[in-house]
Chains A and B, each alone.
Chain A
Amino acid sequence: MAENGTEDINKLDLIRTIGFNGNIPGGLKVHPNRQHVVYALGNTVIVEDITSHQQCFLSGHTNDVSCLTVSKSGNYLASGQVTHMGFKADVIIWDFEKRELYARLTLHKVKVESLAFSPKDKYLVTVGGQDDGSVVVWNIAKKEAICGSPAAVPSDGTTMCVTYANMCDETFITGGNGTLRKWKLDLSNRKIRPTDVRMGQLKRIVKCIEIDEADEFIYCGTTSGDILKVGVNTCIMAEYGPVKEKFSLGIMAIGLLKSEEIIVGAGDGTVALVRKTLKRKKISKVTGGVTSIALRGLGHQFFVGTSLAELYQCNLGEFTFDLVKTCHYSDVLDVTFPAGASQLFATCSKNDIRIWSTTTGAERLRITVPNLTCNGIDIMENGSSIVSAWDDGKIRAFYPESGKLMYVIHDAHNKGVTALATTSDCRRIVSGGSEGQLRIWDIHEKEQKLVTAMKEHKGKVACIRLRKTVAECVSASEDGTCIIWDLQNFLRKQVIFANTLFKCVCYHPEEFQIVTSGSDRKIGYWETFDGSQIRELDGAQSGAINGMDISSNGKNFVTGGDDKIIKLWGYNEGAVTHVGMGHSGSITRVKICPCLNYIVSVSADGAILIWRYPD
């Protein structure tokens, strides 16, 4: 991934990552030392200290992480990934102490569904996905496969989860669509032998399995919303429940306490404490479907991860949930700072706009508009409103403290608003849409009026930047043009053509030059006066450049794109001075804070990364 010749280029200092992939079943684990949580974000595994929030990034996967586990002793982590159809998916074992890759195990096709360590760290068992359908046992010390076997009989469906016994290194259990099997490892013959659990007439899709301390019973959460209790030795189902009022949207995660009570997480966000008799004792609710429950120690405290990328901490006694961590759960599309302030920034994504504190990484405000995507966001220079561009063709403005709706401009662009900028006098909004129009709006307290529509672009407007004097603006479009507009007579001043989809454009602070970039990976410097090209740089070796921002002193600019690398350039030198590697999805936008302290980059995997701006 790294560029050639980056050895002599400085690394950007990563301060903080705001991101959590909540969609992985069991994707949140607490390390047995009770001090760290482990979770995945895109293709990286993150180890985070619970108290100090210090993060460590384990990167080695080539695509999104699909499953994650921690060994009982805590020496190893293991993670599996997905790949493209027809390719092999890696399982990586990480050394926890050294925080480095211990072994890369490649055998499964397309996706690794689930994995589990044996209690004495001897073996790792992995289950492949739908296209693979096999169980493989690995020897950890030798870093090689011992044996493999089809996970289920062909008439049954896919296997989705695997759990190792707590005492015995030779027994593990797999479960999935209509299948629940106990496996015995025969090491001398290099074989694993399954025994199917007899469930009678019951048909269930098992999503998660937990086994009790003494290896007597296993508890399985099913998509039907009930728990199966199965004897390990007999392989016969002992009990299932609750019979009435099953958990809606299925049980996605289970946590087993020493008191034989069960913590159940359901797809509708219900977290319940269930008695030994499989009846509910306490119930609470969180937002998003619960995908993982991770007990800290014996379970007096536990963490709940949800599909809407929220992480809750709960004390068992009170059964109240504190939101510890939250982030966007789909691609973050824009990021912006308030004028002159570095302490806050706003990001937008599908369904919501959020305001974050740069220093603590805490969420300060969330504005939710269900089922719509916010393409662009800007904050009025006086800080009085947050203006946002939505894919339903409306421009919405919100109050910045209460998050309430201030006004809506209906039908601003008929195919969705894609870019937006506010003038420095806070009286006008310039918006661009998918259809290629640029529209200017007069903003008053009671009404918002269309001033004019400028129809020059033929494709989606990707980026709009205004001059400070409000007399001129520049818009970059994916039709391969970049237009400099006169905002007094509403005429085109200059047009720049290039064989690219322009993604981003910036005014140099002195406003005589603009910098553009796009899918051709070239960074172009242009004169605003006559539209002539001054310089052209190669911005990346692979992948389009999606985001660019120039520092307020005009000395540096920063770019980021599909190659997942942040690059800081000297403006006059035209050379990369710093690179930042850490994103696991393609970078959508980058911003430098007004006080030149931070660089914030957002990516398509929902992560927000805060970097220190180098001196």
Chain B
Amino acid sequence: MHAAQILVNAVVLGCLYACIAIGFSLVWGVLNVINLIHGSFIVLGAYLAFGLYNALHISPWYSIAVAAPLFFVLGYLLQRLLLNRVITAPVLVTLTMTFGLDLILNNAMIYFFKADYRKLTLTPSLGSVSIFDVVVPVDRLIATVSALALTGLLYLLLRRSRVGRAIVAVRLDRDAAVLMGVDVKSIYAIAFGLGAALAGCAGVLMALIFPISPLTSSGYLGKAFVVCVLGGLGSVSGALAGGLLLALVEGIGSTFFGPAHATTLSFILLIVFLILRPQGLLGRKGFE
């Protein structure tokens, strides 16, 4: 039964990791930008949920509907006004750019919200459901389902919509896409906006589960990074696979070697992947 509990914990956590990573993966895969501001976007999303719940009693489920367009616009503008100017420069330049933006946003959050840890506590609390002694907290369950739904939506968007096809086309071959009449700059901005919107939504969901503070952003960013390398860049299903693998390794590592070694184990896995399968679980070789 204990093993079943560990497995269930890992599946739930894996979906949360996927939710954290998916926007990051999209931006990295399509724009070839390592978006270091991603973690701070997630925290900002969490503050949005916290603020809306405490000030206006808006449930986090509705906050997602507020966060998605808001963060999309924020991301779109950021890409249009700033990142598009350096997008063709070597990857180090865009990395430095997002690093700087992250410093600004993170310190602004420390300035305005202070570094105190806050918690979004729903009243009444949602509790947990248990099936044969295996306990799953309802908020995590809902976050898991929402994460899967967001992932599914993104998948559909990329597969079925015109914009989605254009995003995939730019990802596959930027020059060919230009020749086919795709407005690459606008596609970049849309992809970055989508990434930001996914980060904002992830933040709203994470607010239910983790304490909120600007200082947690690097933790989210680190997980997103590992999940992307494990799962494969720019692939929707890859983020899910990477998240599940990471959570499983952490869960098993923590049970058998003690929680102090769970992180060590996950980073060993990361190194093994970088050496043996740099394209990740579901990534395809040759795509940048």
A pairs with B: no
B residues adjacent to A (C-beta < 8 A): none
